[in-house]
């Protein structure tokens, strides 16, 4: 399982993971942070679940409110939060399953982006046919 140095690294965690971890570390609920940012709770939830991404100005606000560096929030490098206390060793099979799940999530996110770009291209191409 990841150690303190790579728990929130780009290879191990997503932007949403780091956002949720930092929010919890400062003791804010989703509704509280959403209110401070001036966004809907659903918007924040979508960011934490990596279903959408905030604009640059919101990312900067998040970093300030959560007391982490912009770089850490985006990549896991820089000033951030400590890895959570796990209270013991995670079994090897669970660690492997978690790693596989993270990899699948990353692949699905990338494929979703490719699908959206392809759909946009097809829509643009079909405009001349209608």
**pLDDT score at 3:** 43
The proportion of the chain whose per-residue pLDDT surpasses 90, expressed as a percent, equals 34
Residue 77, both tokens? 């490098």
- Give the residue, 23 or 89, on which the prediction is more confident: 23
Note the pLDDT tens digit of each residue in 42-59: 999 999 998 999 999 999
Please answer whether residues 66 and 26 qualify as being in contact, where contact means their C-beta atoms are separated by less than 8 angstroms: yes
Please answer whether residues 77 and 71 qualify as being in contact, where contact means their C-beta atoms are separated by less than 8 angstroms: yes
What secondary structure letter does DSSP report for 71?
H
Contacts of 8 (CB under 8 A, 6+ apart): 17, 18, 21, 72, 76, 80, 81, 83
Model confidence pTM above 0.85:
no
């Amino acid at each position: 399982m990841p150690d303190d140095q790579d728990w929130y690294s780009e290879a191990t965690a997503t932007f949403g993971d780091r956002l949720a971890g930092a929010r919890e570390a400062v003791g804010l609920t989703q509704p509280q942070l959403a209110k401070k940012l001036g966004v809907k709770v659903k918007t924040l939830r979508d960011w934490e679940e990596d279903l959408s991404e905030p604009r640059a100005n919101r990312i900067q606000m998040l970093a300030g409110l959560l007391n982490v560096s912009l770089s850490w929030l985006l990549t896991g490098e820089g000033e951030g939060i400590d890895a959570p206390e796990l209270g013991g060793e995670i079994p090897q099979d669970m660690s492997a399953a978690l790693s596989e799940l993270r990899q699948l999530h990353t692949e699905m996110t990338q494929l979703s982006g490719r699908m959206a770009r392809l759909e946009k291209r097809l829509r643009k191409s079909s405009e001349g046919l209608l």
